[in-house]
Structure formats: C-alpha cells, structure tokens
Amino acid sequence: MYKKFLITSILSLICVLFSYAQEDSIAITPPEEQVDASNPLSKGLNFYQIGRFKPNKVELQNIVNYTTNKWFIRAAVDYTKPYDDNVYYGSSSFMVSRIFDLAKNNDEWKVQTGFGVVVSNSKVNGNAIGVNFVGVQMNDKWKFVELFTYQSNGTIEAQYGAYYKFTQNGNWEIRTHPRMLFNTQTGVHEIPVGIGIGHTMRTPMFTTYIFCEPEYDLYNNEYLIYSGVKFIF
C-alpha cells in the first residue's frame, strides 16, 4: 500500500512540475541576474532545509553555507522525526574547504575544486574529525557535483550529482544527486539512486531553489522521497 501511494504521488508531482515548466520555458532571465541555485558553491550566504521521507520516518537536515572566491564553509544539523514519535537529534558538523578555480581559459566549462577538514558530533558515533573534497564542473546546460567526506569514526558520506537544464532560462532542471552514507562501526549504510526535478524562483532580494527527487535505497530495499528548499541571499 505504501509503495503504491508513493509511486502515485511521485507521478502526479512530476506531471504538475513539467506542466509549469512548459509555461516557464519561454522566459529568458538576463545573464547578469542569473544565479545557479543548485550549485553548492554559489557565492554568498544560503540556507537549506532538506528532508528524506522514508516509510516510517523523515530524516531532516538544516544546512548553512557561506562561499567566497577562496573558501567554502558549511554547518549542518541532522535530526529525525518518526511519524508516530518525537523529533530526536542525529548529528551536527562543521566543514571548511579551500576552493580552487580551474579551467580559467575555457569559455565553455567552469571547474571548481575544494579540499578541507570537517569536525562533527554524532549521537551514534560521538565526536570525530575528517577530511572532505568538493567539486563542481558546469557549463550552460550541464552540471556535475561531488562531495565526499571521511571521518575518524569510520563514517563516509558520498554525494555525486548530475544536473541538466531543460528550459531556455535555466530555471528548470532534471537532477540526480543521492546522498550515500556508510558507517563502518555500525554496519548501517544507505545507497540510494533516483532522478527528480528542480526549480529556481528569483526575486529582487533572494533566489529560492526547490527540488523533489524520488529514490530507491539499494542497500535497505526501500523507497524514499528526497526533497528540499534552498534560499540564496
């Protein structure tokens, strides 16, 4: 019953989003006003609220990013809400990466790479320190994103994403960007795969990015919906 309801909801949502996309595809935003909202290294201050809706709970994540020409700083708090119980704390982390701009003489592709450190606290694994890598390669239509962290408590987070802008103004895109988690201490892992859609909404004061990405966790044999909203200032 849950799978049938989830699949029906996913198909309905995708149909609605594509209908809006067709209306939006003829508008062209001036290049000087464009913000690549799904780029984790977009300059300035931005806030995320992300949810992973699973069969019996939702895993929530609040993220604050601040990016300059040279530095990428991220703070995150994870917590879980069982549908029939109270919210409880999962983990928190703070990450700093040094950013390098590559392919400067390439007019078509922009390439950024960052290396840094991360410190964290987990309800399950305690305190830890580790290393991280972040990378973005993008042109007018395509974007590829990598985020990898390894910590001293044996936890690994790996996110590899691909995006394709399918409207003229770039406000709508097809995306796949699952978050894979590996815990060598507990043996609890997550290996989701999926594809979804993202939309950018622009105002004079800030830019908003919303996305919905239905996924299937190969390791835990369950469906989930990965969705969220991002505000860029």
pLDDT tens digit sequence for 93-138:
999 999 999 987 778 899 999 999 999 999 988 999 999 999 999 9
DSSP state of 111: E
pLDDT on residue 105:
73
pLDDT on residue 90:
92
pLDDT on residue 26:
38
pLDDT on residue 82:
95
Domains of the chain in start order, with CATH, are: 2-232 (2.40.160.40)
pLDDT on residue 23:
43
pLDDT on residue 91:
94
List strand residue ranges (DSSP E) for 103-171, in order.
110-122, 126-138, 142-151, 155-165
pLDDT on residue 3:
43
22-61 CB burial, b ≥16 within 10 A, e <16: eebeeeeeeeeeebbbbbbbbeeebebebbbbbeeebbbb
